[in-house]
């Protein structure tokens, strides 16, 4: 897992996390997203899904989830992009990009997130 935090004078931190996990060989990105949403609904207080959409990140299908929940009486906003990668011979890997903001996920945060996601480039092994 990688963690990056950007803070401003307003105290509205933008935290960005990259995590990786082993995926099942038959997993599909939309099914993984549905499973993730069930887990979030079951574990987060006052979970509310703002939006979900399919997109492409560096040529790979992905799902973008935007949601909010409460933690210590504060509203937490998260935007998460899920991508499945085939990584022979190791198999499939799930890569999750998550941005978190307390109180609001404003236009500046949306732009930062979009720039990060649009800038993602995956290493491609060279074919002989």
In a domain, 35, yes or no: yes
Domain count, the chain: 1
Question: What CATH number does the domain containing 40 carry?
Answer: 3.40.1000.10
In a domain, 13, yes or no: yes
In a domain, 34, yes or no: yes
Q: Write the pLDDT tens digit of every residue in 74-99.
A: 999 999 999 999 887 778 999 999 99
In a domain, 55, yes or no: yes
In a domain, 101, yes or no: yes
Q: pTM score, two decimals?
A: 0.85
Q: Write the pLDDT tens digit of every residue in 106-127.
A: 998 899 899 999 999 987 665 4
Dihedral sign for Cα atoms in the order 26, 29, 31, 35: positive
Q: Write the pLDDT tens digit of every residue in 20-32.
A: 999 999 999 999 9
Q: By residue range, what is the domain housing residue 16?
A: 2-118
In a domain, 8, yes or no: yes
Q: How confident is the model at residue 12, as a pLDDT?
A: 57
**pLDDT surpassing 60 at residue 5:** no
């Amino acid at each position: 897992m990688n963690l990056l935090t950007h803070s401003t004078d307003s105290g509205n931190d933008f935290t960005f996390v990259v995590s990786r996990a082993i995926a099942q060989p038959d997993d599909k990105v939309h099914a993984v997203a549905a499973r993730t949403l069930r887990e979030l609904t079951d574990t987060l207080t006052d979970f509310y899904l703002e939006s979900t959409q399919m997109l492409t990140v560096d040529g790979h299908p992905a799902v973008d989830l935007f949601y909010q929940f409460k933690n210590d009486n504060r509203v937490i906003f998260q935007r998460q992009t899920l991508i499945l990668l085939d990584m022979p011979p190791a198999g499939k890997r799930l890569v999750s990009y998550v941005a978190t903001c307390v109180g609001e996920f404003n236009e500046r945060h949306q732009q930062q997130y979009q720039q990060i996601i649009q800038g993602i480039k995956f290493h491609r092994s060279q074919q002989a």
